[in-house]
Every structure is written in structure tokens, then in C-alpha cells.
């Protein structure tokens, strides 16, 4: 996971700490004199197409069939839908998400436009959650935008019957580091979801909890494990019952004190909302994006780290 020609120090372990990664990035910036080009402490508020290339400027077209340069936002749906062009086929195979009902103009109007980015230069540290009146709002035009904001911000929690009557503690895995392990001493804990977050949290809190139950639809039958023998793997959660009851799909009923949603995150790009560039970004898939990297119609807009699993 290093830059080409610039490896991590030999003593760096495979699972690097935050501090080691930061040191590496700073060393790379020092080596290539990048610090003057980087603005820290900024919060992006909006990204919009600022301009499109002029008609006939082929150096700014990508994947067009007949040189059409109209933007996809201005194209209309209707007759002439394309189902067999190379652009549509490639996007369909590689996650482009082109709909069968899109017009020929939409599929062919793939352009390398410029981007207006409005961002807030914070007067306080970037971690400050609330905008300050002293912040400087800046609008700047860029040739390309790379979205590297990740997908671990907006939490996803399923709708489960009876949750409003549950009297115990309810939290998402994203909040786990705030209370720490101490908050689970002697507790009966239910972790909903058995992927990385669910299994890691269950293993860690099992050292202090009375019992930890990990439920997931991928668990066909109940089983027991853990170093203290207090971790139970159970079938999918069906509903909450009463003040502390949880019922599973197999009909089993248990009482728990704490529920931890280990159910992942939604894709969220608030700075692109209303731009018409993405469809259903809050779902489990972002499109129209080629190879999970480049916007199909505007490839000067790219994304890093979209796949949920690698």
C-alpha cells in the first residue's frame, strides 16, 4: 500500500498504526515538496461542474461515439435508448450502472469538464464539528476532483420491530471507541452483524462482559465460543420484545442489556447532493462509476475506496 518508488521503512509492521501512516505521508510530501500544494483544515461544502469543453475539443472527450458533448444533466430521456454501445457495455460489466432506458446522448456525453469546489477554511481545528463565523469560504475551480472521503461516516441501522420499547443501551459500532471496553463490564451484549466489526468487538468485550451474543443471518445454527466460553453465535434478529427482550428468527428469546449495531455504513457524499452526478448514493452501490473509480460521463471526477469488501 505504498507509493511507487517510495516504500515504507523496513521496520514497519504489516498492520501499521495511525502515527506510522502519518509519518509516511509526511515523509513523501517532504521528499516531493508537496506541502505548498496542500491545504489542511478545510471542509468541502459542494462540488459542481464549472464548465464543459467546447464542441469539437476532442482532447476533453472520453468514450464518446459521435463527439456529442452535452452534459448528462441536460440530456433527456426518451426514444433512442442505447443498449449495445461499447460505453454502455463496459459500464454494465464494471459497475457503471447505465440504465437500459438512458438516451444515446446520455451514454455518449462523456466529458472532462472543470469543477467548482466550494470549501470552508476552518479558523478552528478541522475536527471542530460546528462551522465558525470566522471560517473563510472559498470557491475555486479545478481540472479534476478525486473523492477520498471513504464510506465510514453515515451509519446504517436496520428497522427492527419493537426497538422503540427496548430499555437498554443502543449504539453503533462507530461509537464503540468512545465508551471503551469498560462500558460492557458484566453486561449481556448483543452484536448485530458478524463481519469485521461484529467479530472484533465481540472478541474484545467478551473479556469483561457477562455474555456476548453475535447474531447474523449467515449463522445457520447456534454455537458457542470465545476464550471465556461466553460468546454465542446466533441466527438473525427478528424483533425486540419488552424492556430487554430480543427474539431471533429461530424463535429463541433472550434478554440483553446492550445492543451494538455492527451493520455497516451508507455511502454519503453531501457535497455532491443536488448535483445530479450520482444516483442513489445512499444505497449499497455508487453509480454511474466505471470500475468503482471514474464517473462514467465525467471521468475527471474519480473516487477512491468505494468497494465495501476487497
- Is residue 194 a contact partner of residue 222, using CB atoms and an 8 Å limit? no
Domain assignment present for 271: no
Backbone φ/ψ region at 186: left (φ over 0), alpha (ψ -120 to 50), beta: left
What is the pLDDT at residue 281? Answer: 56
Low-confidence residues of the chain: pLDDT under 50? 55-109, 127
Find the angle CA(275)-CA(43)-CA(120) to the nearest 5 degrees: 90
- Is residue 47 a contact partner of residue 271, using CB atoms and an 8 Å limit? yes
Q: Taking the complete model, does pTM exceed 0.85, yes or no?
A: no
Domain assignment present for 94: no
Domain assignment present for 137: no
Q: Which of these, 175, 214, 220, lies nearest to 195 by C-alpha position?
A: 214
What is the pLDDT at residue 282? Answer: 54
What is the pLDDT at residue 79? Answer: 30
| pLDDT tens string 239-272 | 999 999 999 999 999 999 999 999 999 888 999 9
Q: What is the DSSP string of 138-191?
A: EEEEES-EEE---S-SEE-----TTGGG--SEEEEGGGTTTT-GGGGTT-EEEE
Domain span at residue 178 reads: 157-261
- Is residue 113 a contact partner of residue 300, using CB atoms and an 8 Å limit? yes
What is the pLDDT at residue 274? Answer: 84
What is the pLDDT at residue 90? Answer: 34
Q: Can you tell me whether residue 232 is helix, strand or coil?
A: strand
What is the pLDDT at residue 124? Answer: 65
d(CA 214, CA 224): 10
What is the pLDDT at residue 179? Answer: 79
d(CA 98, CA 93): 10
What is the pLDDT at residue 110? Answer: 53
- Is residue 69 a contact partner of residue 53, using CB atoms and an 8 Å limit? yes
CATH number at residue 192: 3.50.50.60
- State how many domains the chain has: 1
Residues 6+ apart with CB under 8 A from 161: 238, 239, 240
Amino acid at each position: 500500500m505504498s507509493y511507487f518508488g517510495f516504500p515504507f521503512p523496513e521496520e514497519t509492521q504489516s498492520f501499521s498504526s495511525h502515527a506510522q501512516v502519518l509519518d509516511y505521508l509526511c515523509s513523501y510530501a517532504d521528499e516531493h515538496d508537496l506541502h505548498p500544494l496542500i491545504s489542511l483544515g478545510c471542509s468541502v461544502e459542494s462540488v459542481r461542474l464549472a464548465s464543459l469543453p467546447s464542441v469539437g475539443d476532442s482532447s476533453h472527450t472520453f468514450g464518446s461515439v459521435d463527439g456529442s458533448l452535452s452534459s448528462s444533466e441536460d440530456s433527456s430521456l426518451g426514444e433512442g435508448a442505447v443498449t449495445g454501445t461499447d460505453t454502455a457495455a463496459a459500464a454494465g460489466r464494471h459497475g457503471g450502472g447505465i440504465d437500459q432506458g438512458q438516451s444515446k446522448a446520455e451514454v455518449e456525453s462523456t466529458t472532462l469538464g472543470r469543477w467548482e469546489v466550494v470549501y470552508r477554511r476552518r479558523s478552528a481545528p478541522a475536527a471542530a464539528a460546528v462551522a465558525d463565523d470566522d471560517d473563510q469560504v472559498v470557491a475555486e475551480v479545478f481540472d479534476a476532483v478525486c473523492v477520498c472521503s471513504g464510506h465510514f461516516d453515515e451509519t446504517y441501522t436496520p428497522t427492527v420491530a419493537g426497538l422503540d420499547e427496548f430499555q437498554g443501551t443502543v449504539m453503533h459500532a462507530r461509537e464503540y471507541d468512545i465508551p471503551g471496553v469498560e462500558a460492557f463490564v458484566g453486561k449481556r451484549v448483543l452484536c448485530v452483524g458478524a463481519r469485521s466489526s461484529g467479530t472484533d468487538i465481540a472478541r474484545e468485550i467478551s473479556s469483561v462482559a457477562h455474555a456476548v451474543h453475535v447474531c447474523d443471518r449467515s449463522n445457520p445454527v447456534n454455537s458457542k465460543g470465545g476464550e471465556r466460553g461466553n460468546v454465542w453465535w446466533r441466527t438473525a434478529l427478528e424483533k425486540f420484545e419488552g424492556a430487554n427482550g430480543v427474539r431471533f428468527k429461530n424463535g429463541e428469546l433472550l434478554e440483553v442489556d446492550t445492543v451494538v449495531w455492527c451493520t455497516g455504513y451508507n455511502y454519503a457524499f453531501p457535497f455532491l447532493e443536488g448535483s445530479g452526478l450520482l444516483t442513489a448514493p445512499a444505497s449499497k452501490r455508487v453509480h454511474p462509476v466505471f470500475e468503482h473509480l471514474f464517473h462514467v460521463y465525467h471521468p475527471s471526477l474519480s473516487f477512491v475506496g468505494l468497494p465495501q469488501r476487497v
